[in-house]
């Protein structure tokens, strides 16, 4: 138990992000940086390996959004315009903002945006060919024109990805600066100081996460091996 500085709310530290969500997040960041770095440095075999890892991570997160812990579920954090407006009003009001279990209604939009843009990047990669040396595993399954279109999207969408990641980081800095709310520590340790009035979210077993990770990895492996 503790009191925050304005002494209005009693808080206690509880797990808000389960280990699978945290591992997913930081692995995704690592694999995207590694895919970019290997792509820029002509290590295309590694580029594709990191790309496959991104695909497996995305598939994992999609399933975890249905069967994972409470704060990981899409049904818990995707909210309507009224909730988003209420959150914007809270943002504009002076003073600190209390930690919240899970994504806030605005952050949820960013999450859907980030996941969608990364999905476009990784899926178009499968159909991309440079025409000389490297082919994505599905490039030969579509016409030359489709593959060329996928390549254009793969290259162009990377700038969209950079922009949305930039916004993501700017928003996190904004919450830290304006609302004195540190979102990064909970994404590392899992824990945040929640107001006593807010119940601790339900966290599901790691065994379930292993099962989902195994299914996601096997599905991507099968796609690459048998396509
Ligand atoms: C999120 C994951 C990915 C990111 C961030 C990413 C990023 C990039 C970038 C920035 C380039 C352009 C490199 C350059 O020429 O300057 C590129 C090229 C390429 N990527 Fe990806 N990629 C990802 C996933 C994939 C996947 C899954 C595959 C296929 C398995 C793939 C296949 C290719 C190929 C074949 C090229 C060469 C295109 C060319 O030079 O014409 N990528 N990628
Ligand atoms: C390639 C770069 C990045 C991508 C694609 C990315 C993507 C994401 C995604 C998809 C989520 C939602 C997590 C989930 O529910 O599964 C998220 C949340 C989060 N990310 Fe990132 N991220 C990136 C970089 C970063 C960096 C560099 C930081 C740290 C400065 C960061 C800090 C966070 C935090 C704190 C959250 C939780 C936000 C909240 O409390 O609602 N991310 N990110």
* For residues 30-53, average pLDDT: 97
Strand segments (E) across 57-190: none
Of ligand 2's listed atoms, the one at least distance from the Cα of 72 is 15
Beta carbon of 161 within 6 Å of any ligand 2 atom: no
* Lowest pLDDT segment from 4-8, 43-47, 192-196: 4-8
Distance in angstroms (rounded) separating the CA atoms of residues 37 and 42: 9
Q: If you measure from the C-alpha of residue 183 to the centroid of ligand 2, how many angstroms do you get, rounded to a whole number? A: 9
Of the bound ligands, which one is closest to the alpha carbon of residue 165?
2
Rounded distance between C-alpha atoms, residue 133 and residue 78, angstroms: 42
DSSP 200: P
Residue 47 Cα to ligand 1 middle (Å):
7
Cα(75) to centroid of ligand 1, in Å?
Answer: 32
| Residue keyed to tokens 């509880």 | 14
Q: What residue spans define the domains of the chain?
A: 19-226
What is the predicted pLDDT for the residue at 2? 45
Give the strands of the sheet with 10-15, arranged side by side: 2-3, 10-15, 191-195
* pLDDT at residue 7 is higher than 60: no
Continuous segment of H or E residues that includes residue 22: helix 19-40
**Is residue 135 very low, low, confident or very high in pLDDT (cuts 50, 70, 90)?**
very high
Q: What is the per-residue pLDDT for 9?
A: 67
Residue 20: left if φ>0, alpha if ψ -120 to 50, beta else—which one?
alpha
**What integer pLDDT is reported at residue 4 of this predicted model?**
46
For residue 137, give both structure tokens: 């595993």
3-state helix vs strand vs coil in the chain, percent to 5: 65, 5, 25
User: How does residue 189 score in pLDDT terms, banded at 50, 70 and 90?
Assistant: very high
pLDDT at position 1, please?
42
Q: For 144-174, what is each residue's pLDDT tens digit?
A: 999 999 999 999 999 999 999 999 999 999 9
- Are 64 and 32 in contact by the 8 Å Cβ rule? The answer is no
Atom of ligand 2 nearest to the CA of 64: 16
Residue nearest (by alpha carbon) to ligand 1 atom 1: 122
Q: Which of 35, 40, 55 to mutate to test the pocket of ligand 1 (most atoms within 8 A of CB)?
A: 35
**What is the mean predicted confidence (pLDDT) over 99-110?**
92
Contacts of 147 (CB under 8 A, 6+ apart): 127, 128, 129, 139
- Average pLDDT of span 59-70: 98
Q: What average pLDDT does the segment 2-13 reach?
A: 62
Fold of the CATH domain 19-226: Fumarate Reductase Cytochrome B subunit (1.20.950)
| Token code pair at residue 171 | 């928003």
The burial class, CB within 10 Å (0-12 / 13-18 / 19+), for 7 is exposed
- The mean per-residue pLDDT over the stretch 32-55 comes to 97
Q: Within 10 Å of residue 31's Cβ, how many Cβ atoms?
A: 21
How far are the Cα atoms of 21, 32, 71, 84 from residue 103, in angstroms, in the given order?
Answer: 12, 22, 7, 11
């Amino acid at each position: 138990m503790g009191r925050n500085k304005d002494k209005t709310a009693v808080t206690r530290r509880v797990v808000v992000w389960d280990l699978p969500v945290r591992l997913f997040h930081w692995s995704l960041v690592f694999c995207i940086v590694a895919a970019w770095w290997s792509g820029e440095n002509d290590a295309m075999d590694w580029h594709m390996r990191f790309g496959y890892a991104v695909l497996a991570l995305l598939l994992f997160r999609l399933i975890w959004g249905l069967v994972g812990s409470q704060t990981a579920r899409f049904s818990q954090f995707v909210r309507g315009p009224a909730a988003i407006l209420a959150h914007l009003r809270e943002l504009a009001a002076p003073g600190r903002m209390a930690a919240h279990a899970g994504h806030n209604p605005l952050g949820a939009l960013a999450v859907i945006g980030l996941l969608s843009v990364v999905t476009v990047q990784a899926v178009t990669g499968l159909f991309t060919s440079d025409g000389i040396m490297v082919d994505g595993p599905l490039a030969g399954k579509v016409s030359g024109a489709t593959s060329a279109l996928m390549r254009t999207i793969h290259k162009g969408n990377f700038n969209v990805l950079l922009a949305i990641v930039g916004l993501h980081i700017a928003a996190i800095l904004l919450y830290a600066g304006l609302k004195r709310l540190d979102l990064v520590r909970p994404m590392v340790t899992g824990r945040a100081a929640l107001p006593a009035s807010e119940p601790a979210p339900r966290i599901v077993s790691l065994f379930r996460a292993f099962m989902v990770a195994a299914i996601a990895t096997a599905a991507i492996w099968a796609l690459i091996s048998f396509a």
